[in-house]
């Protein structure tokens, strides 16, 4: 049994690591799904088939209740057979996020992911609407169009946005965490099979399509219904780093196309700088250092950015 003092120390250690990555400890603890037996970790991106991916991983870690994948709530981290990141020894956590472990995730076109989250959390689900809208200054039962919702998102700090509407590039800590495989929602069937082959050595393993559609909204077919010129422009602004770093077209009509990327992003001070809107540490090291110093970063994050840029 973990003693309370050990648990508190573990949380503090995770906070230190998260601080260096520019992440929030609680968010990182929820999004990281480590499989210590295989030394792999999946960093999930909400609204990008994470239900199906976690169900598959959990079923490989322990038999599902009742013998079927539908037998458990894959989003309940406390009951998941995959441990919480904070429960692992500090050295194992570092290996999982920045060391010898292999890491993977999946991404989705920002237009389609945004609309899927909006339809799922703001339009169709009363409980979710009542949870999200007060955080944006609206009554719990308000009915707001996408444009109004986007303006409200733009009015709060990026790091304060719910994970369903936060940029994928931030949730993935691009540049600070390197990936061995980055699949795409737009070619999910093929990339899911490739993930199983690479990380689990499986060519079969059953279908998880039904599980993955529990929160499906049909967003890809409803873009024109909700996006006009103003909504499109604001979404491009809010998710500029996702479009630029994940290889997605900024044209709404291209939202169903897979991303144009040839390799997953590695651990790179250059990529981290682009994600944060900072000068290049390679071509403008003085400008980068000055921007970091003036950027209001917490000390841990500031020191990490400067150290990695210098290295």
- What is the DSSP secondary-structure string of 50-61? HHHHHHHHHHHH
- Nearest-CA neighbor of 111 among 258, 187, 220? 220
How confident is the model over 186-201, as pLDDT tens digits? 999 999 999 999 999 9
- Nearest-CA neighbor of 178 among 241, 289, 82, 100? 100
> What pLDDT is stored for residue 1 in this prediction?
39
Is residue 47 a contact partner of residue 117, using CB atoms and an 8 Å limit?
A: yes
Q: Which long-range contacts (CB under 8 A, 24 or more apart) does 26-31 make?
A: 27/163, 27/171, 28/85, 28/173, 29/77, 29/84, 29/85, 29/86, 30/77, 30/163, 31/163, 31/171
What tokens appear for 201 in the block? 């050595």
Enumerate residue ranges in the chain where pLDDT < 70: 1-10, 66-71, 205-207, 209-218
Q: Is 39 left (phi over 0), alpha (psi -120 to 50) or beta?
A: left
The rounded distance, in Å, linking the Cα atoms of 137 and 149 is 10
- Neighbouring-strand partners of residue 103: 41
> What pLDDT is stored for residue 2 in this prediction?
44
What is the biggest distance separating any 2 CA atoms in the chain, rounded to whole angstroms? 60
Phi, psi angle pair for 109, to nearest 5°:
-50, 130
Phi, psi angle pair for 33, to nearest 5°:
-120, 90
- Nearest-CA neighbor of 149 among 94, 162, 95, 184? 162
Secondary structure of residue 221 in the 3-state scheme: helix
The rounded distance, in Å, linking the Cα atoms of 166 and 308 is 25
The rounded distance, in Å, linking the Cα atoms of 158 and 146 is 18
The rounded distance, in Å, linking the Cα atoms of 83 and 36 is 8
Is residue 110 a contact partner of residue 223, using CB atoms and an 8 Å limit?
A: no
> What pLDDT is stored for residue 73 in this prediction?
85
What tokens appear for 294 in the block? 């003036």
Residue 11: how many CB atoms within 10 A of its CB?
16
Task: For residue 230, give Cα distances in angstroms to 142, 226, 227.
Answer: 21, 11, 8
The rounded distance, in Å, linking the Cα atoms of 151 and 230 is 10
């Amino acid at each position: 049994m973990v003693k309370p003092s050990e648990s508190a120390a573990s949380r503090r250690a995770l906070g230190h690591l998260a601080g260096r990555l520019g992440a929030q400890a609680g968010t990182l603890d929820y999004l990281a799904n480590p499989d210590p037996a295989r030394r792999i970790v999946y960093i999930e991106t909400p609204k990008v088939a994470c239900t199906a991916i976690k169900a598959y991983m959990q079923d490989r870690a322990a038999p599902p209740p009742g013998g079927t994948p539908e037998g458990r709530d894959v989003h309940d981290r406390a009951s998941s057979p995959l441990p919480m990141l904070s429960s692992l020894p500090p050295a194992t956590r570092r290996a999982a996020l920045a060391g010898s472990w292999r890491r993977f995730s999946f991404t989705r076109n920002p237009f389609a992911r945004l609309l899927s989250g909006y339809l799922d959390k703001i339009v169709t689900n009363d409980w979710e609407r009542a949870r999200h809208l007060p955080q944006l200054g609206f009554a719990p039962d308000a009915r707001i169009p996408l444009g109004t919702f986007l303006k409200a998102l733009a009015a709060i700090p990026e790091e304060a946005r719910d994970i369903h509407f936060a940029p994928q590039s931030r949730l993935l800590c691009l540049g600070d965490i390197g990936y061995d495989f980055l699949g795409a929602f737009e070619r999910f069937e093929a990339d899911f099979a490739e993930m199983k082959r690479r990380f689990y050595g499986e060519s079969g393993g059953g279908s998880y399509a039904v599980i993955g559609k529990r929160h499906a909204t049909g967003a890809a077919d409803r873009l024109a219904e909700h996006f006009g010129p103003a909504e499109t422009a604001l979404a491009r602004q809010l998710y500029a780093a996702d479009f630029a770093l994940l290889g997605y077209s900024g044209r709404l009509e291209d939202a169903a196309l897979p991303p144009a990327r040839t390799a997953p992003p590695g651990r790179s001070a250059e990529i981290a700088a682009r994600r944060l809107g900072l000068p290049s540490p390679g071509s403008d090291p003085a400008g980068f250092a000055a921007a970091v110093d003036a950027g209001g970063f917490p000390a841990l994050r500031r020191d990490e950015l400067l150290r990695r840029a210098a290295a």
